[in-house]
Structure 1
Amino acid sequence: MELTPERQFLAEQVAAEFVHGMFPSFRMPAFVACPNDCCAQAVLSAITLAAGRNGVATEVIDLRPAPAELLDGVTQRLCGFYGRSEGEEAPPRRVLALDGFDLLEGPENDAPTYPFRS
């Protein structure tokens, strides 16, 4: 599927919602659903470009092979961010794009996974 100029513009508008205002100082987690892989890739590319203009790297983490297990690893990385000792350097800021997060929906995945679900 070819990405039309209209869809590219839409992807850039969506990216602007992720990278705006006080970015990179503050950004609440957000969820985006795309109708197909082409649109999802366009949105991820637009977010990566917008974040890069602010000096922030984007890391895409594909949760699809094992969503719960891979999300546990992401959660562990985030928990360590605020648990730094005095004088310890903060990890570099980055956008974490979790591809396949929607696969965690359903009764078999109801257990809390801090900080994403409670």
Structure 2
Amino acid sequence: MSAVKQTPAPAPSPMPSPAARYVWYGALFVLGVLVGLAGSLVQAAWFPGGLLLALLATTGLFYGGLRATGTQIGVASAAGGWLVAVILLSVGRPEGDGVFGGGTGELIFLFGGMAIAVMCATMPRLPRPTP
């Protein structure tokens, strides 16, 4: 008979302290602004591939916020930054300039990003493994 060598399970990552979570929330908000800005520019420039790339980036950010903080507030802070950037870019200036031209791609980006944020916020969290 041969003995099977079992390796011990990895130790679970400790829950971040409240101060560390607040730092994560602030960083996710700033990343949300940056992803919203980049997505707004890319989705119109390389349609339809840019739209897909922008939506994939928002999905990665929102799901990453959920996994990094372990709470739905991580998704909400990233989505809040994303939404602020997208709304500010969609509002035109008095001269009539605006980033969004009002086409189908812009609407898919706006509503698709909001739908992705809701999906990520309502995903069940996986329980942390116990030692």
More helix by share: 2
Q: What TM-score results when the alignment is normalised by the length of structure 2? A: 0.36
Structure label with greater radius of gyration: 2
Q: Highest relative contact order (Cα 8 Å, sep 6+), 1 or 2?
A: 2
More strand by share: 1
